[in-house]
Structure 1
């Protein structure tokens, strides 16, 4: 083996290699979730100094046609629009700006829509607009110029005082997740489900902004033909640290982790009240997912829970949440994802946590011990000694499985109870395959129970969870006695009647 290793790679020059037009297609395939994409657009509104942001779903009868995000920020000139619509367009971000990479507007929008139109006006310039149509973008980075008359009409649609109003409208068309056929109540069900998730997501990740008196986000639904407004409500802040009473009298407590590259990083450690039913604790994701670090960048939450390789999540730390404001500027310790939906922390951060302490010398590791003890003591005081059970298995949503295991101790080293769909006689709603530890649900009733939603391995989480709770003891007994057989027949009769009623309801909706 040669030992003439060169520590620097020699070069003989350089050449310009512009991106292929298909780069736009790759840019739109970064896995942006719907709520994450909308939050990225709202970030731009906040950077523009907006006081009010409206997320507007437009429908034509049963069909959803467009989605708009409207703000009353400072607006953009023609030249600023060109920069905003350029992939990676360079602009000078303010020190406290939420934007970073110059790709959010384009990648977030084109991940979910085949066309994105941006129309904007300032106090000193006329309305102007640009449109990215995916077909034209991937064929040569061709961005359309919006007709000035239409740009002004779209601005006027949302301006109470057109002469002095300023702001920006982002319009999505051909939104991929919109129901293709809105009949049978599909559009209403989609809106109810989507808007609920969106409101919770924005309420959580932008809670510090929403807590201010001068900033509001409104979600609305309007019929474009009749002008009927079906929904119009303000998003409420969802502060993940808004417990009424602390779970431990020594907390919250502030620890400091020293990282030479970025300086001192403050850790505000909290212990939630055990068994809380508040939305701030339970509404967004499972409590297992929400323990750990809450990273903020310029007051915008960019990660809600997780231990960033410092330790593994476990049920006894469900009450532990730590707020961390990221240091300004880019560094190698904390790397923010392009989607602003997570933080990659270097091993140096984990090492610093081992030594982190508060002003009295109490270590951060003691905080974890205290949070664990509060959880365990709460269960003891409540006299909760639940008998171990066979755990849930495949077919039940992972977040539900986590909660079941948290509440019901699993029998060690035993396989879980699977729940799956299969063809059965129509007179049966379920069967029990005792040897396979499987609850089989009748495929005949699946579509009606899902209400038009797509099926999958973990679909119908409510039904499957109830079936597990109802039937897990059957698998734990060695044989079925007369009382158990009678109960199974009772449940079978009731569930078949309920499933048939659901089928009749769907048939009535389709007529």
Structure 2
């Protein structure tokens, strides 16, 4: 029996090609490179995303960090480079520089110097060269190209620093004509999305007033990246907060729930716009070492619903819990164990979610009230032209304060109680949108300025989910209004003092059934999604 150890070297071309498909989004890939710059103690980063006249794209990220000598640069370009001496470093697995870059380009170059008077060195992985040579052959030179040197000197003149360069970019744009106007507009869109992503991910680094992380300045194509705080501290309300110690470890994580104001409650329109209140922004924001690694969802705990647009939850931990949370290679997601997941879902989050829902409903009530004004005018005009033809019971008001009325219909003469009121708007005497109808019913017969009318409950789910999306569709609104008015008038024509309660029970049951039937319909869009484009 023979036992032996065999060194099995992976095929370089197949390995590199395979690692291109690790699932990096463009913004996430660039952020991985920014992590390396911050880990190298950079205070200034300058990102250039450009395309030449032929449409060839070039990404260049220059920093004024520590820089590297020859040995350091070779190690940095190694797949699975040695572990950093600082375990709290944003760079973690020794793969990000290579995998993040080659996810979008076929040629990755790094230019670096470790002092202001040291020569700049350049190392390059060229996937086509590796495939031809069939070797892990890293290209190395002490004569970097002029554009890379210019960029390095612009950011770190007389100082150590590094430039990461992508060329042969083949996966960023899908346009066949890379120099076309469509491609250039697409590249501009990529740039703007990158700025927004970096503003959120590195908020604590970009905000000079935030002392949790070292301060960093980032520019993209000359534009300064300004910190964006998802929790809008200073405007929001801290609903709940907890520091949790992990069993078997001295490490802790922080979880906090913030409730944002509604857009109209911000001090000005600019502040409301900056908050980016939208369904895409609600949820849990996960931070590692004060760097956002996962944003804006409920980690599979809940569905995204507009009722929770004002709720954002911070979940922060340090590098000590990387293994506990199963941090992935892209540093973009974590896995919670069943007990912690259940604690968050069933114990920590229910109270903040109830409060967020309550606040949203309050604001929604006001929004629907505003939206419904004038929406029923056409119905009132149409019914007014047909009121005499329709006929029905004769109703006389005895006491408007108590709602006592006398109803004369084919069944006799009866004294009943009905809501009696006046028009909220000129001509609004047949269909009146209202809130707070008793027992949560969708509608109820009433008398408005001596006319037989119906009040429609704007707080009922049927109004919210069926009426509101159609408020600008006059024919649809008239059709629904006519039906409810007809039911109210028919009730007055058929009721007696002995059956009055039965009709009320029927309205209650109809309202209950309708509420159930519209459960699965989408929430209304009230125009409050202020998320930046």
TM category, shorter:
0.5 to 0.7
Structure 2 residue aligned with 1:92, among 61, 84, 87?
A: 84
> What's 2:217 paired with?
216
Match of 1:195 among 184, 191, 195: 191
Over 3 Å counting, the alpha-carbon distance change for 1:368 and 1:157 in structure 2 is closer
Distance in 2 (alpha carbons) for counterparts of 1:327 and 1:28: 28
SS for the counterpart of 1:38 is helix
1:63-462 aligned within 5 A: 63-123=55-115, 125-138=118-131, 140-150=134-144, 154-159=148-153, 164-176=158-170, 177-178=172-173, 180-212=176-208, 214-220=215-221, 232-242=222-232, 245-246=235-236, 251-262=238-249, 264-275=252-263, 278-282=272-276, 287-353=278-344, 364-384=349-369, 410=465
Asked if the contact 1:295–1:324 (Cα under 8 Å) also holds between the matched residues in 2, the reply is yes
Q: Structure 2: which 5+ residue stretches go unaligned?
A: 210-214, 373-460, 480-533
Give distance in 1, aligned partners of 2:141 and 2:323: 45
| Cα deviation 1:440-477 (Å, max 9, x = unaligned) | xxxxxxxxxxxxxxxxxxxxxxxxxxxx9999888999
Partner of 1:418: none
Over 3 Å counting, the alpha-carbon distance change for 1:163 and 1:331 in structure 2 is: closer
| Shift in alpha-carbon separation, 1:151–1:64, aligned structure 2, 3 A | closer
Per-residue CA deviations over 1:88-140 (Å, capped at 9, x if unaligned) read: 11132413211111111111111111111111001164221111111233463
1:331-371 deviations in whole A, cap 9, x for unaligned? 55412222222222221212332676xxxxxx553222112
Larger proportion of helix: 2
Aligned to 1:391: none
On the 8 A contact 2:201/2:292 being kept in 1, the answer is: yes
Range moving further from structure 2, 256-265 or 124-133:
256-265
Distance 1:332 1:188, change over 3 A: closer
Look up the SS of the partner of 1:289 in the other structure: helix
Q: CA deviation at 1:204?
A: 0.8
Deviation at 1:60, TM superposition (A): 3.1
Q: Which is greater in Rg? A: 2
Equivalent position to 1:50, from 35, 42, 52: 42
Q: Shift of residue 146 of structure 1?
A: 3.3
> Secondary structure of 2:281's partner?
coil
Distance 2:473 2:242 in 1: 44
Is there any run of 5+ residues in structure 1 with no aligned partner, and where? 1-11, 221-231, 357-362, 388-405, 413-467, 479-511
Question: Residue 11 of structure 2 is aligned with which of 13, 20, 25?
Answer: 20
TM superposition score normalised by structure 1 = 0.64
Q: CA RMSD in A?
A: 3.5
SS in 1 for 2:355: helix
Q: Aligned equivalents of 2:154 and 2:241: distance in 1? A: 46
C-alpha spacing 1:59/1:355, structure 2 compared with 1 (3 Å): closer
State the Cα distance separating 1:267 from its structure 2 match.
1.2
What SS is found at the alignment partner of 1:338? coil
Q: Answer whether contact 1:89 1:102 (CA < 8 A) is retained.
A: yes
**How many corresponding residue pairs?**
372
Instruction: Give the C-alpha shift of residue 207 in structure 1.
Output: 0.9
